[in-house]
Amino acid sequence: MSNIDPNSAVYATDEYGRPFIIVREGQVKSRLSGIAAIRSHILAAKTVANILKTSLGPRGLDKILISPDGDITVTNDGATILDQMAVEHQIAKLLVQLSKSQDDEIGDGTTGVVVLAGALLEQCEQLLDRGIHPMRIADGFERACNVAVEHLEVISDTIAFDKDHTANLKKTAMTSLGSKIVSKCHEQFATIAVDAVLAVADMKRKDVDFELIKMDGKVGGSMEDTLLVHGVVIDKDMSHPQMPRQIKDAKIAILTCAFEPPRPKTKHHIDITSVEEYEKLKAYENEKFDLMINQVKDSGANLVICQWGFDDEANHLLLQNKLPAVRWVGGPEIELIAIATNGRIVPRFEDLSPAKLGHAGVVRELTFGTTKDRMLVIEECANTRAVTVFVRGGNKMIVDEAKRSLHDAMCAVRNLIRDNRVVYGGGAAEISCSLAIAKVADNISSIEQYAMRAFADALDATPLALAENSGLSPITTLAEIKAQQATTNNHELGVDCLYKNSNNMKDQHVFDPLISKRQQFLLATQLVKMILKIDDVITTYEQ
């Protein structure tokens, strides 16, 4: 304290008599501290969680998000909603990051993790009112989370599957898709998601490379027209309308060099002062272009895919030489085509050789209704691991939401390949963990027992929200299921959101991957512990 200039600072004390410093030179500091700060954080987090709560479950409601540019997004995907929301409060931003971390790590369960974090913070408020110190609450939550995670391992079931028997994978994908906009044809979408993941999965390493799955879409048609292409779809067509629409047994030259004669460098220029000089230049360009065509044909290629464009003269010469070509293909598509066809990307015509060509059974153009739009489909590729999901829909919003839904479903299938254990959805796993934590808390004499019971009550928020969103009586439904689970010890009982007259989630095929549910519990608890440890908010404004 003695090193601070007394003329540049003011010493003050807060309501607890703790000293703090207000610096005068160029800064004004506002301060919120102690329990008041924690209450402020809890309020902000609860507000965000309550927005997402109504989107949970198969009968959850969608949100419409309007960007500053006027673009509209309709979705019930938690990660998308939070990502596009204009959130100003610091703690609310932490919930956005929580949802993103769940999305990055697992790909599904982004709404559930935020709802659980909001419920935990709501319980914190009641514990703080009873005078329990935030650190004791954090310790109790940590202990309860460990009990819940261990209990999840106990109640999990292992499901069997392989590339020929995929029924269980489809059931898990259908659970993920049940709450999405595509639910009217979710069996078809579940099959697409499973087939796409299995096509690129490395079953020995239990790994799925999502880079090999390309997601593309086109407005028009219905969602039932969505298809899985074992190959690549690119939003381009042949460079000349008279080029063939279909090429069988395609040998593809994949070029990143321009299909044009060499140009003078920008700092040089050519002065043509006579007809002879012009004819000489024209002959030189034709000679160079013929050389390029011959180099391509000598390699055995019957289709050219070029990253750069070429002018109409070059296009005409390609047509005359009966060499179909596609131009202006983007970098990511070029890489995917090279992977799918086992070809090499060639930067110079001199480097072309038969060994560097890509191979595909069929390359054809796809047309759409009465429009002139065309896309190129490369099928029966040498490398069968590269696939494209081609989504159709009535408008851009449906296509975008269908892509997000398929991504979530594919992540759920990927999680089962990594770890083929599942717990049961519909709130069944949360209710079972809640009962297990309450049983452990009864045998604890320290003050953490209150925090553990609060954690158990917070887990009930998920089945309560599912019941409420399904039009059921939340308290009555939860009480009945809890009583049934406690008396029968059946951890498969959950909320019957689809009115099938059965609370057994195993019979309804409502599965959640174990690693997804475990990650939800761990991430939500970590965030709540961090928020409980923040008791000072100091905002600095430059004058």
Beta bridge partners of 513: 422
Contact 434, 457 (CB under 8 A): yes
Q: Under 8 Å CB-to-CB from 81, ≥6 apart: which residues? A: 51, 52, 55, 63, 65, 75
- Neighbour-count burial of 128, counting CB atoms closer than 10 A to its CB (0-12 exposed, 13-18 middle, 19+ buried): middle
Distance CA 299, CA 10 (A): 81
Annotation marks residue 111 as catalytic: yes
Q: Which of 77, 237, 460, 496 is catalytic?
A: 77
Contact 434, 169 (CB under 8 A): no
Contact 184, 393 (CB under 8 A): no
Distance CA 359, CA 44 (A): 56
DSSP 240-272: STTS-SEEEEEEEEEE-S-SS-----TT-----
φ, ψ of residue 240 to 5 degrees: the values are -130, 135
Q: 480-499 burial by CB neighbour count: b if 16+ within 10 A, else e?
A: ebbeebeeeebbbbbbbbee
Q: Under 8 Å CB-to-CB from 494, ≥6 apart: which residues? A: 424, 425, 426, 427, 428, 431, 463, 466, 481, 503, 505, 510
Distance CA 438, CA 279 (A): 92
Distance CA 318, CA 315 (A): 5
φ, ψ of residue 427 to 5 degrees: the values are 85, 0
DSSP secondary structure letter of residue 355: G
φ, ψ of residue 272 to 5 degrees: the values are -105, 115
Distance CA 503, CA 522 (A): 27
**Can you list the positions of beta strands (E) in 404-470?**
421-424
φ, ψ of residue 378 to 5 degrees: the values are -110, 110
Annotation marks residue 341 as catalytic: no
DSSP secondary structure letter of residue 61: P
Q: How many CA atoms lie within 13 A of 351 on its CB side?
A: 11
Q: Which of 110, 175, 388, 525 is catalytic?
A: 110
DSSP secondary structure letter of residue 26: S
Q: 149-182 burial by CB neighbour count: b if 16+ within 10 A, else e?
A: bebbeebbeebebeeeebebbbbbbbbbbbbbbb
Annotation marks residue 77 as catalytic: yes
**Can you list the positions of beta strands (E) in 1-122?**
9-13, 19-23, 27-33, 63-66, 72-75
Q: Which of 111, 166, 226, 462 is catalytic?
A: 111
Annotation marks residue 408 as catalytic: yes
Catalytic residues, by residue number, are: 77, 110-111, 408
